[in-house]
Amino acid sequence: QKEVEQDPGPLSVPEGAIVSLNCTYSNSAFQYFMWYRQYSRKGPELLMYTYSSGNKEDGRFTAQVDKSSKYISLFIRDSQPSDSATYLCAMSGATGFQKLVFGTGTRLLVSP
């Protein structure tokens, strides 16, 4: 079993839709939870990070972490064609030298 599970998609939505992306994980030591966006043939770009449980909002993006269920989500409101990309969840511990553990990535397609 992988430490981080993520549905690879693709997820196709019309412009303006609310998008929900999710990951589950098994390692209780994870404390930081990140969402990266990766366009084709580019490096991942950090969208948001959350420490421990709770919600965080940044513009059209909202990240949620439920440590009791080992479940994290990213919501995108008013989705735009420019949001079409692969969304990667990533996690790490909080001390020492930290590596990022990534999910497979979910490919999102927003049609005009």
Cβ proximity to other proteins, 98 vs 111, nearer residue: 98
The nearest distance, CB 15 to other proteins, in angstroms, is: 26
Residue type, 15: E
Residue type, 23: C
DSSP state of 74: E
Distance of CA 23 to the CA centre of its chain: 7
Residues that bind other proteins (CB under 8 A): 4, 6, 8, 32, 36, 41-46, 49, 51, 88, 90, 97-105
| 76 contacts: CB under 8 Å, gap ≥ 6 | 18, 19, 21, 60, 61, 83, 108
Cβ proximity to other proteins, 17 vs 101, nearer residue: 101
Helix count and strand count (H, E) for the chain: 0, 11
Cβ proximity to other proteins, 68 vs 97, nearer residue: 97
What is the three-class DSSP state of 62? strand
The nearest distance, CB 78 to other proteins, in angstroms, is: 26
The nearest distance, CB 67 to other proteins, in angstroms, is: 17
Cβ proximity to other proteins, 47 vs 76, nearer residue: 47
The nearest distance, CB 46 to other proteins, in angstroms, is: 6
